[in-house]
C-alpha cells in the first residue's frame, strides 16, 4: 500500500532522534526537573480567569514557577475556523517571544479540569512537534494536579529572553483536505477516525461554526474521552496500547484523526502516536468545520428539520 503523500519537512531546528523526556510528566517529575535542569514550561491558560469564574484558573492568579504564558488561542485560527494552524511567520514570532530554543525541553501546562482541557495541551504539543521541536511533554493532570500534589504556585511572571529560532511547520503529522479526499476516493488507504462523541458523528450535534452536522464519509469514531479514567489525567502508554489494540487501531496502515476543529482530535493523535507508539498517525487540523464549510461530501447528514433542531439545541 502506498502511504498518503507527505510533504518534505523543512525544519530550521534540529529534532533529536529521541526525546530525553517522556511525552507525559507527572507533577513530581516536573518538580524534580525544575530543581535540576528546568525545562521551559508553557502555560496555555488565559492570563485571567473569566469574570464569572471565582476560581484561580488564570495564569496571573498563580502558575507553576518559571512558567511563561501563551494562551491556547495563539496556537489556533480565528473564530470562524479555529482549527487553522498559524502560519510559519506567526509561529516563529510566538516561539521567539517565549524564548523557545531547539535544545531545551518544553512542558505544556493546561488547567487540568477535564478531558477537553487536555485536548488544548495535545494540540499545542502537536504544533510544537510539527515545528521541529523534539523534547516535549504535557503535564499530566495540568495545574490542578500540580496543586493537588501539594506544590506551590507562583505569581511572579518571568520575562524570557527572546530566542532566534526559525520554524517551518512540517506536514509529517498533518493531514490536509486533499489527503482526506484521497482516502475517501480510494486513492489511498487509511482510517478516518472521528474523536467526537457519537452524537456528533451521527449528525445529532454539530459545532456552531460548521456548515452542517455530519461526519467524513467512511469514518469510524473513537471518542477522545475514552483515553481518560475517572479524572483529567490521561492513561499511560501501556493502557493506551491496550485500548488501541482493543479497537483494532493498530492494524490500520494510516490513521487520520479529526473532530470539529482539531482539538479533541489532537488527544486521539497524542494517545495513538505518542503513547501507544503507532506509526502514520496524522491530525486533520481544520476537521469538520473546515471540511463542511468547504462544501465537501459528508456522511450522516440529517434532513432539514433535524438540522434545524440541532442548531437550535446548540444555541441553547
Each residue's pLDDT tens digit, 53-71 = 556 679 999 999 999 999 9
Whole-number pLDDT of residue 15: 36
Q: Give per-10-residue mean pLDDT for the chain (316 aa).
A: 27 39 96 96 90 71 97 94 94 98 96 96 98 96 97 95 96 97 96 98 95 97 94 94 95 96 98 97 98 97 71 58
User: What is d(CA 179, CA 173) in angstroms, rounded to the nearest whole number?
Assistant: 12
Q: Return the H-helix or E-strand segment holding 269.
A: helix 264-269
Per-residue confidence (pLDDT) for residue 10, from 0 to 100 = 29
The CA-atom distances, in angstroms, between 52 and each of 49, 55, 220, 315 are 8, 9, 38, 19
The superfamily CATH assigns to domain 177-315 is Rhodanese-like domain (3.40.250.10)
Measured between alpha carbons, how far is residue 204 from residues 36, 211, 224, 260 in Å? 51, 14, 18, 14
CA-based nearest residue to 111, from 46, 65, 54 = 46
Handedness of CA 171, 175, 177, 180 (dihedral sign): positive
Q: Superfamily for 24-148?
A: Rhodanese-like domain (3.40.250.10)
Which pLDDT score, from 0 to 100, does residue 311 have? 57
pLDDT at 51: 61
pLDDT of residue 128: 98
Q: According to the model, what pLDDT value does residue 312 have? A: 61
Domain extents in the chain: 24-148, 177-315
pLDDT given at position 316: 53
Q: Note whether 24-148 and 177-315 share their fold.
A: yes
Contact status, residue 307 vs residue 279, Cβ threshold 8 Å: no
CB 284 within 8 A of CB 258: yes
Amino acid at each position: 500500500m502506498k502511504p498518503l503523500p507527505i510533504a518534505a519537512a523543512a525544519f530550521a531546528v534540529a529534532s533529536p532522534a529521541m526525546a530525553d523526556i517522556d511525552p507525559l510528566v507527572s507533577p513530581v517529575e516536573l518538580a524534580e526537573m525544575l530543581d535540576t535542569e528546568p525545562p521551559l514550561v508553557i502555560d496555555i491558560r488565559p492570563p485571567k480567569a473569566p469574570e464569572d469564574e471565582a476560581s484561580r484558573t488564570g495564569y496571573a492568579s498563580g502558575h507553576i514557577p518559571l512558567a511563561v504564558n501563551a494562551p491556547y488561542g495563539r496556537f489556533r485560527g480565528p473564530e470562524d475556523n479555529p482549527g487553522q494552524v498559524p502560519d510559519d511567520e506567526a509561529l516563529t514570532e510566538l516561539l521567539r517571544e517565549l524564548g523557545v530554543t531547539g535544545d531545551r525541553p518544553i512542558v505544556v501546562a493546561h488547567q487540568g479540569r477535564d478531558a477537553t482541557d487536555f485536548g488544548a495541551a495535545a494540540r499545542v504539543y502537536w504544533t510544537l512537534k510539527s515545528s521541529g521541536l523534539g523534547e516535549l511533554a504535557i503535564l499530566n493532570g495540568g495545574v490542578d494536579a500540580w496543586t493537588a500534589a501539594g506544590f506551590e504556585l507562583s505569581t511572579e511572571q518571568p520575562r524570557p529572553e527572546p530566542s532566534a529560532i526559525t520554524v517551518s511547520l512540517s506536514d509529517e503529522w498533518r493531514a490536509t483536505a486533499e489527503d482526506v479526499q484521497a482516502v475517501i476516493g480510494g486513492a489511498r488507504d487509511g482510517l478516518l477516525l472521528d474523536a467526537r462523541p457519537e452524537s456528533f458523528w451521527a449528525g445529532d450535534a454539530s459545532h456552531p461554526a460548521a456548515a452542517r452536522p455530519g461526519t467524513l464519509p467512511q469514518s469510524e469514531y473513537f471518542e477522545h474521552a475514552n483515553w481518560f479514567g475517572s479524572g483529567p489525567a490521561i492513561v499511560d502508554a501501556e493502557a493506551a496500547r491496550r485500548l488501541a489494540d482493543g479497537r483494532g487501531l493498530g492494524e490500520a496502515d494510516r490513521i487520520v484523526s479529526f473532530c470539529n476543529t482539531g482539538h479533541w482530535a489532537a488527544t486521539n493523535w497524542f494517545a495513538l502516536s505518542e503513547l501507544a507508539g503507532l506509526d502514520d498517525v496524522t491530525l486533520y487540523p481544520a476537521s469538520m468545520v473546515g471540511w463542511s464549510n468547504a462544501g465537501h461530501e459528508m456522511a450522516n447528514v440529517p434532513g432539514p428539520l433535524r438540522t434545524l433542531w440541532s442548531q437550535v439545541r446548540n444555541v441553547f
